[in-house]
A = this chain, B = another copy of it.
Amino acid sequence: MVVVMEPGSGEDRIQNVITHLKEMGFDVHRSDGVNHTVLGAVGDKTDVDIRQLEVLDGVHEVVRISEPYKLASRMFRHEDTVIRIGDVTIGGEEVIVAAGPCAVESREQIMRIAACVRESGAKLLRGGAFKPRSSPYSFQGLGEQGLRYLREAADENGLLVITEVTEIGQIDLVTEYADILQVGARNMQNFMLLKQLGTKKKPVFLKRGMSSTIREWLMASEYILSGGNREVILCERGIRTFENYTRNTLDISAVPVIKKLSHLPVFTDPSHGTGIRNKVIPMALASVAAGADGVIVEVHHDPDHAKSDGAQSLYPGQFAEMMMQLRAIARAVQRRVVDIADNGEEKRP
């Protein structure tokens, strides 16, 4: 931390700031310039509210020089985190696609969609059983029944299950059925939930809050990592901006930013990121071109009658087309999309 004093702030005030810094556990290096005295505070502290210093008399500005997150940082761990679940490797050379409906609606629905997304090359099956809806009058999901259908559909097709947990009380139940536990954007700063997930052994798929900075997102991952669970996958899903033609603005630049700051794998969600079906494919391609480790998209065989998010769900044919194009893009950036059906061999378009 660096504290810059105001010009002519006087020795008393400088000493007062030094005292505060020492109380906080820092070593202090002082440097007197022509106008400003600058105090460098050295020490391995991550829990400091810098505004506490900013309000001291005579302080001009306070600057944090180390990031508040540690375990999520590439300084802490230089190599990419690679997560292996069964045959699936996340964060490696392969680009991974998660696909499925917004919500599990029936056994027949999820079986049908699972088969078609597998056929086109998805490795993970998505689908919500507990739906956090902005209206209390909307469909809230099938609950445990939905989890059961999801597991069955995934097993039938050799897919992994990724599904959302919206509340501490659901963790154990969801853990029974899922391979990856998703934390939705609205829960990104539900710290109680994150803490509990930190004590589990399942990978956590952490969506970025719709108005969260990249720093806050990494701090949220720190809650999970510091609990002992080192398998976190980050997912950019669109931020809230003034533009309302799209439902959110998919911040694709977050992909290369995260790749620099952190060792964690990063996905994007072009379905929620745009909210419009015909924008999903270009944004999925753009994400992989920018370096994403995977994408998660919504697919429905009958989106006109989907109980939620039908408008942003791809038809199976569109999903197949997207996978074809993703293969070409992945190759262009020296990565691969691998088909289950081909036993590890890449399908030629």
Point out residues on A near B: beta carbons under 8 Å.
2, 4, 7, 20, 27, 29-36, 38, 40, 42-44, 46-47, 49, 51-52, 54-56, 60-61, 63, 65-66, 68-69, 75, 132-139, 166-169, 186-187, 189-193, 195, 209-211, 213-216, 219-220, 222-223, 226-227, 239-246, 249-257, 260, 273-279, 282-283, 285-291, 303-304, 306, 308-312, 325, 328-329, 331-333
Are A285 and B290 closer than 8 Å at their CB atoms? yes
Residues of B within 8 A of A278 (CB): 256, 260
Minimal beta-carbon separation of A107 from chain B (angstroms): 22
Q: Which residue of B42, B60, B240, B329 is within 8 Å of A34 (Cβ)?
A: B42
Pairwise interchain contact A312-B51, C-beta atoms closer than 8 A: yes
14 intermolecular pairs with C-beta atoms under 8 Å apart? A31-B40, A49-B138, A49-B311, A51-B310, A134-B189, A136-B226, A137-B226, A167-B168, A187-B190, A209-B211, A211-B211, A239-B242, A245-B257, A253-B283
Contact pick for A241, options B40, B222, B241, B308, CB 8 Å = B241
Question: In the complex, given contacts A167-B190, A168-B168, what are 16 additional A-B residue pairs having Cβ atoms less than 8 angstroms apart?
Answer: A2-B2, A29-B32, A51-B310, A55-B311, A136-B226, A167-B193, A209-B211, A213-B245, A246-B257, A255-B282, A256-B278, A256-B283, A282-B290, A282-B291, A285-B289, A286-B287
* A60–B65 touching, CB < 8 Å: yes
The one of B29, B65, B279 that contacts A61, using a Cβ cutoff of 8 Å: B65
Identify the 3 closest CB pairs spanning chains A and B, nearest first.
Answer: A211-B211, A51-B311, A328-B332
Q: Could you say which residues of chain B place their CB within 8 Å of the CB of A191?
A: 132-133, 136, 166
Asked whether B286 lies within 8 Å of A189 as measured between CB atoms, the reply is no
Q: Given A289-B289, A329-B332, decide whether A213 and B187 contact each other with a Cβ distance below 8 A.
A: no
Chain B nearest CB, measured from A120 CB (Å):
17
Q: From A227, which residue of chain B is reached at the shortest CB distance? A: B136
